[in-house]
Structures are given as structure tokens and as C-alpha cells.
């Protein structure tokens, strides 16, 4: 099992290795917790505020636990004609979440169809998308 100590041992305790260590920590645990930030600060002999300052500067390093969310968007013909790919792009660009493309659900007249954590949303457009996802984020 991966631990913060094992991750830190992969890096020499030089300040130029702080960012790679933060990226690895975030990628491994989903975010850099307060407790891990404290250990990272100790390892690199820097203040904890410097750890969070560096982490918050980079999108790839998360400092808060990310919500568990599964977004699926129908990308079959009828939903695609109704801009399902625009919805997928917006989810990825604005919300930094990878949406899963799924095949026709037989609700083509109600498309584009999006499913969030098992709940089905119909006729999704960009403004509706924002309202829907705010419930989950």
C-alpha cells in the first residue's frame, strides 16, 4: 500500500522536488490532505503554508477531497445531434471531470441524456448542466 512516507522517499528533499512530490501525492490519494501537507513540509524543511501555496497554484494538485461523481453522457446519434459532445467538452473543460461516453439508452427524443451517479437527466444543455452539477460539487 502506498503511503506518504513511501512517496516522499522517491524524491530528494530539495525544494525543486516539492511540486513533483505534490503531484504524485495528489494523483495517488486524490488530494493533498492537511496531515500529508504537514509531513511534506517537514520532509522538505519548509513551512506548511509554502506547501499549500505551491499546491494551490497548480490545477493538477488538489488540496480538497474530490467528490465521488460518475458522469455518463449518451454519445449515440440522436444525442450527438443535440450537442452531447458539447456537454462532454464543457464537463471536462469547466469542471475538470472526465465524462464517460455511453450508448443509446432508448430515450432519444429526450436527448441529450446525461446520468450523474445513476440519476438520469434529459434535454441537457449548457445552462442546465451547470445547475445539475452544482448539486454534486
Nearer to ligand FES, 41 or 105 (CB): 105
48 vs 36: CA distance, rounded Å:
10
Nearer to ligand FES, 43 or 121 (CB): 121
Distances (CA, A) of 47 to 18, 34, 54, 102, 106: 12, 13, 11, 46, 56
**Helical ranges in the chain per DSSP H:** 4-9, 18-29, 34-44, 48-57, 77-81, 84-95, 126-134
126 vs 113: CA distance, rounded Å:
12
Q: What's the min distance (Å) between Cβ of 118 and ligand FES? A: 16
Nearer to ligand FES, 46 or 108 (CB): 108
Residue 74 as a binder of ligand FES (CB under 6 A): the answer is: yes
- What x-and-dash track marks residues 108-137 binding ligand FES by CB under 6 A? x--x-x------------------------
Q: What's the min distance (Å) between Cβ of 32 and ligand FES? A: 38
Residue 77 as a binder of ligand FES (CB under 6 A): the answer is: yes
Q: What's the min distance (Å) between Cβ of 127 and ligand FES? A: 20
At 42, give phi and psi (nearest 5°).
-65, -45
Residues that bind ligand FES (CB under 6 A): 74, 76-79, 104-105, 107-108, 111, 113
Amino acid at each position: 500500500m502506498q503511503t506518504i512516507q513511501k512517496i516522499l522517499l522517491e524524491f530528494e528533499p530539495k525544494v525543486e522536488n516539492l511540486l513533483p512530490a505534490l503531484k504524485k501525492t495528489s494523483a495517488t490519494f486524490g488530494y493533498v490532505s492537511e496531515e500529508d501537507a504537514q509531513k511534506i513540509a517537514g520532509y522538505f524543511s519548509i513551512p506548511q503554508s509554502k506547501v499549500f501555496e505551491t499546491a494551490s497554484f497548480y490545477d493538477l494538485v488538489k488540496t480538497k477531497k474530490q467528490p465521488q461523481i460518475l458522469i455518463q453522457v449518451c454519445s449515440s446519434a440522436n444525442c450527438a445531434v443535440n450537442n452531447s459532445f458539447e456537454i462532454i467538452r464543457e464537463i471536462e473543460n469547466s469542471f475538470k471531470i472526465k465524462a464517460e461516453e455511453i450508448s443509446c439508452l432508448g430515450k432519444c427524443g429526450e436527448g441529450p441524456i446525461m446520468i450523474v451517479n445513476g440519476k438520469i437527466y434529459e434535454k441537457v444543455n449548457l445552462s442546465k448542466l451547470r445547475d445539475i452539477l452544482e448539486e454534486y460539487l
